[in-house]
């Protein structure tokens, strides 16, 4: 049964660590280790956690028309994107439906890297290649040629600085959504980032937890050593190996979508991620033409996706069977994601986080369920809904954001 | 997930196909979820239990166990009336993970048909089922 699943270079480590494994995007991946999801989730909010994200796929897009191809296929307008910067967005089809979300890394005007989700390397490469007519551009799927891990949380830079050459130079400056270096020695420019043993890496100030940290792209042969080294040098600071369970609850609390679950074969609009669309200021048009733009500008078949927070840590299963009911009891949609952010609670009508500081000792952080609903009509924040799964149900309130006091966007100098 | 050989299945309880266990204790039957179930579910964060006095028929859903991963319904292995619930799980649901056959028990029932217990699987039959 598991024999057809793909594995990452860290797979033996996960098994040795007693991880609870499951299929994710065709890969046998750790859901959690013996530490448990709650501890792993909280480690990222209070110290640092590491995630094996080698199941994700990367593409290189090179050539004189690389910019043209990406700017036509990607939802972000990358006209003003500087080399060394990266940006989050999505690839749509002509119906405006989402094929996958991605981060586009600009090395130069003629060389971009794109990081997409597990198993999506060939699909997105194929999609790009369908749109290259008349363009001078090459799309290379790097699936299997590159490994990746993320280190997330306030101690990430303190830990990682012990493992790279010239950390002061590498980290300063390194703003949110910028990157340095490359995992391929032959592609290293002035911004080379190397581990202490000389291994080249691509270091990106990003991640998918909402917290401060890095994504590290590295040769598959070198990742196990890096993983073990981080656990060793970060032990005193409490660094913790985290599975996809904690990644899911952290990203849900950070109001970030999971591809193929919160974004998918429906229109990529009317959702919390409209920053990923190139709207003009008045939101009546786009700053560029791109694949799917025409469909998005029409209101036909529109649906609405909103973040919600529950009353307690109790949740419902996400999926087609779980209905969203308004106060009249009418079914108006379904639940896309329902996870529990174990690091937050409600106090005096506000959501507070374990990382908020000045927590009152008599206010225990118990966790709150949260996620996204897809409904057929426009609703305002503050609206309460019932999420019903068979006989069970929970009350959910629509919100504009979930976990407060996240650190992802803060200055790196705050964490050195 | 642990290998079957690393899971604990005591001899003094009976098992159901839905991974509940039942143990005869005097006139009462104590019920919980087994080591396989708690391992599959992962960290349990909430246990929903019935009211004392509630009556159920064998196979009825009597509550749910919620983990960080999923919400799982639990089914009663024998017909009867609930005479006691494990109130300690309200503040410490993790007891189900830590000691599913002892401190992590769920409910005690007064069985209406004590012979139903005999129809449940013993350890050997249950292990055969798990091995498929």
Per residue in A308-326, pLDDT tens? 999 999 999 888 889 999 9
Mean pLDDT of A323-351: 95
**Is B66 within 8 Å of A314 when comparing Cβ atoms?**
yes
Would you state the pLDDT for residue A320?
Answer: 86
- Give the pLDDT band of residue A203 (cuts 50, 70, 90): very high
All residues of chain B having their beta carbon less than 8 Å from the beta carbon of residue A389 are 71
Would you state the pLDDT for residue B69?
Answer: 78
- Give the pLDDT band of residue A185 (cuts 50, 70, 90): confident
Backbone angles phi, psi at A272, to 5 degrees: -70, -5
Where does CATH 3.30.70.1400 sit in chain A?
A: 55-141+267-300
Orientation angle between helical segments A121-129 and A66-73, nearest 10 degrees: 110
| Residue A189 pLDDT exceeds 90 | no
All residues of chain A having their beta carbon less than 8 Å from the beta carbon of residue B1 are 20-21
Mean pLDDT of A334-358: 93
> Alpha carbon of A14 to those of A204, A246, B2: distances in Å?
24, 15, 12
**Cα B105 versus chain centre, distance:** 7
Would you state the pLDDT for residue A2?
Answer: 43
Mean pLDDT of A273-288: 96
Would you state the pLDDT for residue B3?
Answer: 82
In this complex, the residue of B2, B42, B46 whose CB is nearest that of residue A37 is B42
- Give the pLDDT band of residue A190 (cuts 50, 70, 90): low
- Give the pLDDT band of residue A300 (cuts 50, 70, 90): very high
Mean pLDDT of A387-400: 93
Mean pLDDT of A237-256: 97
All residues of chain B having their beta carbon less than 8 Å from the beta carbon of residue A316 are 71
Would you state the pLDDT for residue A360?
Answer: 80
Please report, rounded to a whole number, the percentage of residues in chain A having pLDDT higher than 70.
99
Query: Taking all residues of chain A, what is their mean pLDDT, rounded to a whole number?
Result: 95
Task: Give domain A2-54+146-251's CATH number out of 3.50.50.60, 3.30.450.20, 3.30.1360.120, 3.40.50.2000.
Answer: 3.30.1360.120
- Give the pLDDT band of residue A187 (cuts 50, 70, 90): confident
| Residue A253 pLDDT exceeds 60 | yes
Name the percent of chain A in helix, strand, coil, to the closest 5: 20, 35, 45
What is d(CA A260, CA A102) in angstroms, rounded to the nearest whole number?
Answer: 12
| Angle, CA A361 vertex, CA A358 and CA A363 arms, to 5° | 95
| Residue A239 pLDDT exceeds 60 | yes
What is d(CA B60, CA B31) in angstroms, rounded to the nearest whole number?
Answer: 13
**Is B43 within 8 Å of A38 when comparing Cβ atoms?**
yes
Please return the burial class of A377, using the count of CB atoms within 10 Å of its CB with bins 0-12, 13-18 and 19+: exposed
H-helix segments, A154-234: 156-160, 167-171, 223-233
| Residue A141 pLDDT exceeds 60 | yes
All residues of chain B having their beta carbon less than 8 Å from the beta carbon of residue A245 are 42, 68-69
**Is A317 within 8 Å of B42 when comparing Cβ atoms?**
no
| Residue A201 pLDDT exceeds 60 | yes
**Is A37 within 8 Å of B1 when comparing Cβ atoms?**
no
Provide the shortest C-alpha distance from residue A12 to chain B (in Å). Answer: 14
Chain A residues at the B interface, defined by Cβ less than 8 Å, are 18, 20-21, 31-32, 36-38, 245, 249, 313-317, 339-340, 342, 367, 389, 391-392
Where does CATH 2.40.30.110 sit in chain A?
A: 303-403
- Give the pLDDT band of residue A99 (cuts 50, 70, 90): very high
The reply to whether ipTM tops 0.95 is no
Question: What are the start-end ranges of the E strands in A63-199?
Answer: 85-92, 98-108, 111-116, 138-141, 147-152, 179-181, 193-194
Choosing among B68, B73, B93, which should be mutated to test the A contact, i.e. which has the most A CBs within 10 A? B68
**Where are chain B's structural domains?**
16-113
- Please give the CATH architecture assigned to the domain spanning B16-113: Beta Barrel (2.40)
Question: Phi-psi region for residue B89, left (φ > 0), alpha (ψ -120 to 50) or beta?
Answer: alpha
Question: Phi-psi region for residue A229, left (φ > 0), alpha (ψ -120 to 50) or beta?
Answer: alpha
Provide the shortest C-alpha distance from residue B24 to chain A (in Å). Answer: 30
All residues of chain A having their beta carbon less than 8 Å from the beta carbon of residue B45 are 38, 313, 340, 342, 367
Using the structure block, give the residue that is written with the tokens 């509630």: B54
In this complex, the residue of B1, B2, B45 whose CB is nearest that of residue A340 is B45
| Residue A3 pLDDT exceeds 60 | no
In chain B, the residue whose alpha carbon lies closest to the alpha carbon of A319 is B70
Mean pLDDT of A76-88: 97
All residues of chain A having their beta carbon less than 8 Å from the beta carbon of residue B38 are none
Domain covering A55-141+267-300, topology = Alpha-Beta Plaits (3.30.70)
| Helix, strand, or coil (residue A315) | coil
Provide the shortest C-alpha distance from residue A360 to chain B (in Å). Answer: 19
In chain A, the residue whose alpha carbon lies closest to the alpha carbon of B62 is A391
Domain covering A303-403, topology = Elongation Factor Tu (Ef-tu); domain 3 (2.40.30)
What is d(CA B52, CA A268) in angstroms, rounded to the nearest whole number?
Answer: 49
In this complex, the residue of A313, A316, A317 whose CB is nearest that of residue B45 is A313
**Cα B97 versus chain centre, distance:** 12
What is d(CA B107, CA B85) in angstroms, rounded to the nearest whole number?
Answer: 4
Choosing among A339, A343, A392, which should be mutated to test the B contact, i.e. which has the most B CBs within 10 A? A392
> Strand pairing of A304-310 and A368-375?
antiparallel
């Amino acid at each position: 049964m598991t024999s057809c699943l793909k594995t990452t270079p860290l797979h033996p480590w996960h098994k040795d660590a007693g991880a609870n494994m499951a299929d994710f995007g065709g890969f046998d991946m750790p859901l959690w280790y013996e530490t448990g999801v709650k501890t792993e989730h909280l480690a990222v909010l209070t110290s640092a956690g590491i995630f094996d994200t080698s199941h994700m796929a990367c593409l290189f897009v090179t050539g004189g028309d690389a910019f043209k191809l990406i700017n036509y296929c990607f939802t972000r307008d990358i006209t003003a994107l500087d080399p060394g910067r990266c940006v989050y967005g999505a690839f749509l089809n002509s119906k405006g439906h989402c094929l996958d979300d991605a981060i586009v890394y600009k090395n130069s005007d003629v060389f971009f890297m794109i990081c997409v989700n597990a198993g999506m390397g060939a699909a997105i490469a194929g999609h790009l290649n369908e749109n290259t007519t008349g363009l001078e551009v090459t799309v290379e799927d790097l699936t299997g040629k590159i490994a990746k891990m993320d280190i997330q949380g306030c101690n990430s830079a303190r830990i990682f600085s012990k493992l790279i050459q010239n950390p002061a130079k590498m980290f300063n400056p390194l703003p949110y959504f910028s990157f340095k270096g490359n995992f391929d020695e032959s592609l290293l420019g002035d911004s080379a980032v190397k581990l202490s043993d000389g291994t080249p890496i691509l270091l990106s100030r990003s991640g998918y937890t909402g917290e401060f940290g890095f994504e590290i792209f590295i040769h598959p042969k070198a990742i196990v050593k890096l993983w073990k080294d981080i656990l060793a040098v970060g032990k005193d600071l409490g660094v913790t190996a985290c599975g996809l369970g904690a990644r899911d609850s952290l990203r849900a609390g950070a109001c970030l979508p999971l591809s193929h679950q919160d974004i998918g074969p429906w229109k990529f609009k009317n959702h919390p991620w409209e920053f990923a669309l190139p709207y003009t200021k008045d939101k009546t048009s786009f700053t560029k033409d791109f694949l799917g733009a025409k469909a998005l500008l029409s209101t036909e078949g529109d649906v609405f996706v909103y973040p919600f927070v529950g009353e307690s840590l109790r949740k419902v299963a996400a999926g087609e069977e779980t209905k969203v009911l308004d106060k009249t009891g009418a079914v108006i949609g379904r639940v896309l994601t329902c996870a529990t952010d174990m690091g937050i609670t409600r106090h005096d009508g506000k959501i507070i986080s374990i990382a908020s500081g000045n927590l009152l000792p008599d206010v225990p952080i118990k966790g709150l369920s949260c996620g996204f609903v897809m409904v057929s009509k426009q609703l305002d924040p503050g609206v309460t809904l019932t999420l019903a799964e068979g006989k069970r149900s929970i009350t959910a309130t629509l919100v504009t954001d979930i976990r407060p006091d996240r650190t992802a966007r803060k200055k790196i100098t705050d964490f050195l | 997930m642990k290998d079957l050989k690393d899971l604990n299945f005591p001899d003094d309880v009976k098992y159901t196909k839905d991974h509940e266990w039942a143990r005869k204790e005097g006139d009462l039957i104590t019920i919980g979820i087994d080591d396989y179930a708690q391992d599959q579910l992962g960290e349990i964060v909430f246990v929903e239990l019935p009211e004392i006095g509630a009556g159920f028929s064998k196979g009825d859903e009597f509550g749910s166990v919620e983990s960080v991963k999923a919400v799982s319904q639990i089914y009663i292995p024998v017909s009867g009336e609930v005479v006691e619930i494990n109130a300690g799980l309200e503040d410490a649901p993790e007891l189900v993970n830590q000691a599913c056959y002892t401190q992590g028990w769920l409910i005690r029932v007064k069985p209406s048909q004590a012979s139903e217990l005999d129809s449940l699987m013993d350890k050997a039959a249950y292990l055969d089922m798990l091995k498929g």
